[in-house]
Chain A
Amino acid sequence: MAGFSMRPCGDFRTTYRQDTRIFDTTVVRNAAVLGVIAVALIPFVLDGYYVNLFIQISYFAIAALGLNILVGFTGQISLGHAAFFGFGAFASAWINNTTGIPVLLSIPLAGLMTAAVGLLFGLPAARIKGLYLAIATLAAQFILEDFFARAEWFTGGSYGAAANPINVFGYEIYDDFSFFYVCLFFLVVMYLLGTNLMRTRDGRAFVAVRDHYLSAEIMGINLTKYRLMSFAVSSFYAGVGGAMYGHYLGFVSAEGFTILLSIQFLGMIIIGGLGSVKGTLMGTVFMVLLPEVMESGVSALSVFDWASSTDVTDGLAYIKEMAIGLAIILFLIFEPDGLAHRWQQIRAYWKLYPFSY
Chain B
Amino acid sequence: MNFELLFQLLLNGLIVGTLYGVVAMCFVLIYKSTQIVNFAQGEFLLIGAWVCYAFLVEMHMPFWMGFLFTLLFMMAFGVILQMVVLRPMIGEPIISVIMVTIGLSIFFQAATKWIFGATTATYPQVFETRSLNVLGMQIETAYIMSFVISLFIMAGFYWFFKYSKLGLAMRATAFDQQVAQSLGISVKTVFAMSWAISALVSGVAGIVIGMVNGVSSALSVIGIKVFPAVILGGLDSIVGAVVGGVIIGLLENTAEFVDGQYLHWGNLFSIAPFYVLIIILCIKPYGLFGTKDIERV
Contacts and interface: CB of A to CB of B under 8 A. Distances in A.
Interface of A: 71, 77, 79, 123-124, 126-132, 134-136, 138-140, 142-143, 146, 149-150, 213, 223, 260, 263, 266-267, 270, 274, 315, 318-319, 321-322, 324-329, 332-333, 336
B281 A124 contact: yes
Contact of A223 (B228, B275, B297): B297
Given A136-B278, A329-B100, A336-B92, A128 B265 contact: no
A201 to B, nearest CB: 21
B297 A270 contact: no
B113 interface: yes
Contact of A131 (B85, B94, B265, B275): B94
3 A-B pairs with least C-beta separation: A325-B107, A325-B106, A321-B110
Contact of A270 (B99, B107, B109, B296): B99
Contacts of A326: 103, 107
B274 interface: yes
Given A135-B227, A328-B99, A329-B85, A127 B110 contact: no
B105 A127 contact: no
Nearest to B231: A135
Nearest to A123: B282
Contacts of A332: 89, 92, 96, 99-100, 103
B37 to A, nearest CB: 5
B104 interface: yes
20 contacts: A71-B95, A77-B94, A79-B102, A124-B278, A128-B294, A128-B297, A131-B94, A131-B98, A139-B274, A143-B274, A150-B267, A213-B297, A322-B111, A325-B110, A327-B103, A328-B102, A329-B103, A332-B89, A332-B96, A333-B89
A206 to B, nearest CB: 15
A274 B92 CA distance: 13
Contacts of B235: 131
A79 B105 CA distance: 14
A274 B110 contact: no
B116 to A, nearest CB: 11
Given A143-B271, A318-B113, A318-B114, A135 B297 contact: no
Given A149-B267, A326-B107, A333-B88, A135 B96 contact: no
A131 B281 CA distance: 11
B285 interface: yes
Contacts of A127: 281-282, 285, 296-297
Given A139-B274, A318-B111, 16 more contacts: A126-B297, A127-B285, A134-B98, A135-B277, A135-B281, A138-B227, A142-B224, A142-B271, A146-B270, A270-B96, A274-B95, A318-B113, A321-B107, A322-B111, A325-B107, A326-B103
A131 B97 CA distance: 10
Chain B interface secondary structure, helix, strand, loop or mixed?
helix
Contacts of B107: 321-322, 325-326, 329
Interface residues of B, number: 44
Contacts of A123: 282
B88 A322 contact: no
Given A146-B267, A322-B114, A332-B92, A132 B106 contact: no
A252 B96 CA distance: 32
A128 B85 CA distance: 28
Contact of B94 (A130, A140, A274, A324): A130
B85 A333 contact: yes
Contacts of A136: 277-278, 281
B97 to A, nearest CB: 9
Nearest to B31: A131
Contact of A124 (B102, B270, B271, B282): B282
Nearest to A320: B110
Contacts of B265: 150
Q: Which of A126, A135, A213 has the most CB of B within 10 A?
A: A135
A266 B99 contact: yes
Nearest to A129: B297
Contacts of B270: 142, 146
Contacts of A130: 94
B294 A77 contact: no
Contacts of A329: 85, 100, 103-104, 107
Interface in B54-108: 85, 88-89, 92, 94-96, 98-100, 102-108
Contact of B37 (A131, A139, A266, A319): A131
A318 B217 CA distance: 13
A206 B74 CA distance: 43
Contacts of A124: 278, 281-282
B219 to A, nearest CB: 16
Contacts of B88: 333
Contacts of B111: 318, 322
Contacts of B294: 128, 132
